[in-house]
Amino acid sequence: MATFLDLGLLKGFVDIFVWILVFLIVYGVLEVTNLLKNKGLHALFAFVITAVIVLTGNSTRIITEMAPWFVVIAALIFFMLVLTGFAGGDLKDMPSIFGKKSVIWIVAIPLFVILVIAWTQGPQEKTVVNPNTGEVTMVEKTPQQHRPFVGVLSDPKVLGMFLILGTGAMTLALMTGGGGAIGGH
């Protein structure tokens, strides 16, 4: 049965979402700090750091555990900025309104707590008793396996989504005069 909002298929795209998230964060930090003084080098450096982070160890799991909490912290920071605006202050005055050290600690402490929690939520183990010998062994519970990326792309729901998005994009392009026989003024 088709549902309006079926998010179960997004689990197959977790690796791509993590890759994009890490790349954008690293690239953004490099652009803001202007560390290498070249946008091309910033992109290359961000790509290399992203590849190292995502392709080594359990970092994808840690990042997916931390991502929802980062959204919550970003929302809190946004509301702090809105509160500063309502108080009549300028965004440049925010550190002086809340206190320069407190702004850093309000953001840094929750980020550190989130990192520790995500890091300690490793694979779970369960105790299994062999009924014949009575031997107790620890077995690692395997999390639900992600479907391979190709399997997700060949899923009928995803193919239907691409068909609907493609039809919508072509319709919009033709109606706004983007080319073709229909539309255009």
For 21-40, the pLDDT digits (tens) are 899 999 999 999 998 889 99
Beta-carbon contacts of 155 under 8 Å, excluding residues fewer than 6 positions away, are 9, 12
- Per-residue pLDDT, averaged over 104-128, amounts to 71
Residue 24: its pLDDT value, please?
A: 92
Judge whether 53 lies within some domain: no
Domain-located, residue 168: yes
pLDDT recorded at residue 81: 77
* Token pair in block for residue 40: 């091309």
Specify if 153 maps to a domain: yes
What whole-number distance in Å separates Cα of residue 52 and Cα of residue 84?
A: 39
Question: Assign residue 34 a region: left if phi > 0, alpha if psi is -120 to 50, beta otherwise?
Answer: left
Beta-bridge partners for 127: 138
Range 137-163 average pLDDT: 65
Ramachandran angles phi, psi of 125, nearest 5°: -120, 150
- What confidence score (pLDDT) does residue 136 get? 72
Phi, psi (degrees; rounded to nearest 5) at 10:
-65, -20
Domain extent at residue 170: 147-179
Can you read off the two tokens belonging to residue 77? Answer: 């920071």
Q: Amino acid identity of 169?
A: A
Confidence (pLDDT) at 131: 76
Range of weakest confidence among 38-47, 78-87, 151-160, 174-183: 174-183
* 32 within a domain of the structure (yes/no): no
* 174, part of any domain: yes
**Global confidence as pTM:** 0.52
Assess if residue 164 is contained within a domain.
Answer: yes
Which residues lie across from 125 on neighbouring strands? Answer: 140
In-domain check, residue 157: yes
Residue 86 tokens, joined: 């309502």
Total domains in the fold of the chain: 1
SS (H, E, C) 147-172: CCHHHHHCCHHHHHHHHHHHHHHHHH
In whole numbers, what is the pLDDT of the chain averaged over residues? 75
Does residue 161 lie in a domain region? yes
Q: Are 40 and 17 in contact (CB under 8 A)?
A: no
